[in-house]
Amino acid sequence: MQHDPFSDQQDHHQFSAAERARAASRSTWVSVVVNVVLTVLQIVVGVLSKSQALVADGIHSLSDLIADFVVLFANHHSQKAADEDHPYGHQRFETLASLTLGVLLLAVGVGMLWSAASKLQSPELIAVVHVSALWVAGVALVGKEILFRYMLTVAKRVKSSMLVANAWHARSDAASSLVVGLGIIGNLAGYPILDPIAAAIVGFMVARMGWTFSWTAVHDLSDHAVADAEVQAIRQTLLETPGVSGVHDVRTRKMGDMIVVDAHLEVLATLTVEQAHDISVEAQQRVIQHHRVLHLLTHIDPYHRPDLDHAIVSKA
C-alpha cells in the first residue's frame, strides 16, 4: 500500500481549513517571488552565455512559477465549505492541483529531453559557455534549496500533500541546478558536450517527479485507501472509546489531505438506541480530534455477551 507522508506523525493538533489556507498562501507567495527572479536570471544569462543547461533550468523555474499559481488557485477553492453539490467539501481541489503539477512537470521534462537530444545529435555545434552561467547556477542552487526547506517545513506542519508536492518541486529544481553547475564546469574544462548532457539529466529528473506526483494523485482520486498504519491508529482510537466492544470493516478514502472513514462499531445488545447513538457520537468526536478525518460514518452492530444473555434468560 502506498506510503502516506503524514501517517507516521504523532502530532494530534489539527489545523483548521483557514489556518492551512493561510500557510499555503504565505509559503506559495514566497516561492512566486523567488521563481520570478530566478526564471528571468537563468534564461537571460543562459541565452547570453550560450548554456542550454542553464536555459533548461530557467524553464524549470518557470514551471515552478506556473505551479505556484496552480497551488494558489487550488488553495482558494479547497477551503470552501461543503455545499449541496459538494457535501463532503472541496478538499479534492488539492488533489487536482497535485495532478496538474505532476502533468506539468512531466510535460516540461519530456520537452527538456527532446531539446537536449537534438543538441547531442550535432556535438560539433555545441558552444563553449561563459563563466557567468556557473555563477548563476550556484545562486539558483542555494536559493532553491533554502526555498525547499522552508516550504517543506510549512507543508509538514499543516499536513498538506499539495504543499509537499510543491516543496519537492523546489527541491527538484535545486538538484537540477547542481547538475547544471557540474555540466557547465565540464563545458568550461574543455568538454562542451557536458552542457546538453546536463540539460538531458535535468529533463529526466523533472519527468520522473512529474510521473510520481501524477500517479499519486490518480490513486487518491480513485478512492485509494490510506496507509495501513494510519488505518490501525484510527481503529485503535475507536476501540478506546468507552462503550465500544469491537470494531470491524474500517474503510478509508482520501478527500484531499483529509480522510473519509466508514466503520462498524460493536456495542452491547442490551443498550438502548439512545445509548448506542451517544457512543457513536463520542467515537466520531475522538477520531476527528486525533486524526485528519473529515467525516466518520458509523454502523452500530449488537454485541452479545454470553454471561449477560444467560442472566437475562434466567430472569425471564
pLDDT at 78: 59
pLDDT at 135: 92
pLDDT one-digit tens code per residue, 128-168: 888 998 999 999 899 888 988 888 888 888 777 667 777 77
Pairwise CA distance, residues 86 & 89, whole Å: 5
pLDDT at 310: 46
pLDDT one-digit tens code per residue, 67-109: 777 767 766 665 666 656 655 655 667 777 778 878 888 888 8
pLDDT one-digit tens code per residue, 3-14: 455 544 444 455
Residue 85 Cα distances to 77, 90, 92, 221, 252, angstroms: 14, 10, 13, 17, 22
Pairwise CA distance, residues 22 & 268, whole Å: 45
CATH number for domain 228-315, candidates 3.40.50.970, 3.10.580.10, 3.30.565.10, 3.30.70.1350: 3.30.70.1350
Summarize the confidence of residues 208-235 as an average pLDDT.
82
pLDDT at 44: 93
What is the CATH topology of the domain spanning 17-221?
Answer: Alpha-lytic protease prodomain-like (1.20.1510)
For the CA atoms of 83, 88, 93, 98, what is the dihedral angle to 10 degrees? 180
pLDDT at 308: 53
Residue 71 Cα distances to 28, 67, 104, angstroms: 7, 6, 12
Pairwise CA distance, residues 159 & 258, whole Å: 9
Instruction: Decide: residue 15, CB within 10 A, 0-12 exposed, 13-18 middle, 19+ buried.
Output: middle
pLDDT at 311: 45
Pairwise CA distance, residues 251 & 135, whole Å: 53
| Top mean-pLDDT range of 69-78, 171-180, 185-194 | 185-194
For the CA atoms of 308, 311, 315, 316, what is the dihedral angle to 10 degrees? 60
**Neighbouring residues of 13: CB distance < 8 A, sequence distance ≥ 6:** none
Question: 216: helix, coil or strand?
Answer: helix
pLDDT one-digit tens code per residue, 39-51: 899 999 999 988 8
Q: pTM for this structure?
A: 0.59
- Same fold flag, 17-221 and 228-315: no
**Neighbouring residues of 220: CB distance < 8 A, sequence distance ≥ 6:** 92, 95, 98, 254
Pairwise CA distance, residues 195 & 201, whole Å: 10
Residue 298 has pLDDT above 70, yes or no: yes
Q: Residue ranges of the domains in the chain?
A: 17-221, 228-315
